[in-house]
Structure 1
């Protein structure tokens, strides 16, 4: 195998390739994955992104297509109706422009505020926009101590952008709540889910290396819990990390 790879792969990568461990997952068939998507499924959109020739970023386009730029809706409808009147396809009027702007703004804010009922007048729309507020809810939570002779490991991970620079941290405490170990480390680049997984793996691995075997892992990621209990399939990029985490907990 090593002789054959010398003809296909760079010499400095051959030791790394030979040392790579494949984790067999019982009950799961091997399947090809499409790397540009998080799910591994092929999509025409990601294929187009690879094939097309990207141009340099344009500041004007970034202003026009900004997701919070509601004034662009006004400018767009004014320009569109001016062109329609100029080339004779439709007659432009103040009433028509106000209706189209009202409709577009409604469609925009309805994604965040679904309780708004249509139709509404222009003045009603303005009042609704001024009164819109995010629904912020606060829940009180508490940390419960583990039973005697068991340590509880709480981990979390995050990304500056998704994907982007990621990092994770964790706290290990005993049944009295006393601190045993804490960590906060960077993981390079990746997604939020990858950060959550790597933080949990690092914490469990540290515990096993230092002789702590009775560990209760507590995370705030519902996806990570489902992946670990095999009730959901993780993205292809995380399958090896999830399998390693499962092996640690057996």
Structure 2
């Protein structure tokens, strides 16, 4: 420090001295900041170099995991006008036949004719639209490959097969389009539910439940948590607004508050319970830590080892108190100091009911949609 102050003003030297350069006993590590893992990949470099266009809702509807790639690709070609129709090919060559092969009375082949105005196009859309009660005029989806003609029955069959594949019925649907429509209209999601109860810690053990809140629409974020004993009594609760960040960052800040509270109060063998499996795996060292959280998580891991703190995962329905406090914190005015509560009367009203339910060991129900097998 003395050497630095000889070269630069003391106020600037003080700022430089506060810069964290990492632990001296560890080897420096190169970090590729454009990848959450911190490792260089060609894909992340391509994302940096490419010029991204504004995201379009049309492409989200087309390019997704539900649509078969074949259908997504042909939809993309149609929108981009990349289909090999005569109205496009004639700009490069006049050798192709200008007449369509989808009508009894052939017309000049064009995107408009093949997909909207053609005889076969109209029949296809009438066939599929009638079963759904939709009257469509001059709309279709049909394409030509080489010199092969597509007949009505073949188009009906192929579309029905693709819809059946999307519904993932595995043979429970017949190929008849009307029956497929009826099955879709009668389809109901199968829901399953099971009770989830917050588990009390052992005697002479303190458990802290923490959670982070991320409100994207209003650019707000908050953290919250509660420390309780083996009887479910409140020892401390907190809620705090933080700068808008990702949900993972909010979860880490909430867990950090709980871990540091245990450390500052010289409490050993405490339990930190969060509903983010990622945070648990990062703190346990099972998953590689993103570079942006590396410094903070490494500091927390040292406290965890020192105080013998156990970090564990719970379902969100067993973390309702911390969730309510985090949401309350995100709606408060930003401050560097957290709001602390030590009694039931001090805790925000929206969290009191959940505290009473946890103490009485009343269950919340976790409802899930059963996956089809």
TM-score, normalization by structure 1:
0.68
Equivalent position to 2:175, from 121, 133, 147: 121
Q: CA deviation at 1:201?
A: 0.6
- Asked whether the equivalents of residues 32 and 40 of structure 2 are also in contact (C-alpha less than 8 Å), the reply is yes
Instruction: Report the Cα distance in structure 1 between the residues aligned to 2:25 and 2:290, rounded to whole angstroms.
Output: 14
Structure 1: runs of 5 or more not aligned: none
State the match for 2:30 in structure 1.
Answer: 32
Distance 1:16 1:178, change over 3 A: farther
Distance 1:77 1:34, change over 3 A: closer
What does residue range 199-210 of structure 1 map to in structure 2 within 5 Å? 199-210=254-265
What does residue range 75-114 of structure 1 map to in structure 2 within 5 Å? 76=75, 83=85, 86=109, 89=146, 90-102=148-160, 104-105=162-163, 109=166, 113=168
Q: CA offsets, 1:6-41, max 9 Å, x none? A: 99xxx9898267432525797xx6542322222223
Q: CA deviation at 1:173?
A: 0.8
**Aligned positions, number:** 232
Structure of greater Rg: 2
State the match for 1:224 in structure 2.
Answer: 279
Equivalent position to 1:154, from 209, 212, 226: 209
State the match for 2:43 in structure 1.
Answer: 45
State the match for 1:62 in structure 2.
Answer: 57
State the match for 2:20 in structure 1.
Answer: 20
Instruction: Report the Cα distance in structure 1 between the residues aligned to 2:295 and 2:227, rounded to whole angstroms.
Output: 24
Instruction: Report the Cα distance in structure 2 between the residues aligned to 1:229 and 1:92, rounded to whole angstroms.
Output: 59
State the match for 1:235 in structure 2.
Answer: 290
Instruction: Report the Cα distance in structure 2 between the residues aligned to 1:81 and 1:130, rounded to whole angstroms.
Output: 34
Distance 1:63 1:77, change over 3 A: closer
After superposition, the CA RMSD in angstroms is 4.3
Distance 1:172 1:121, change over 3 A: same
Distance 1:93 1:181, change over 3 A: farther
Instruction: Report the Cα distance in structure 1 between the residues aligned to 2:39 and 2:171, rounded to whole angstroms.
Output: 38
TM-score, normalization by structure 2:
0.49
Q: CA deviation at 1:44?
A: 3.1
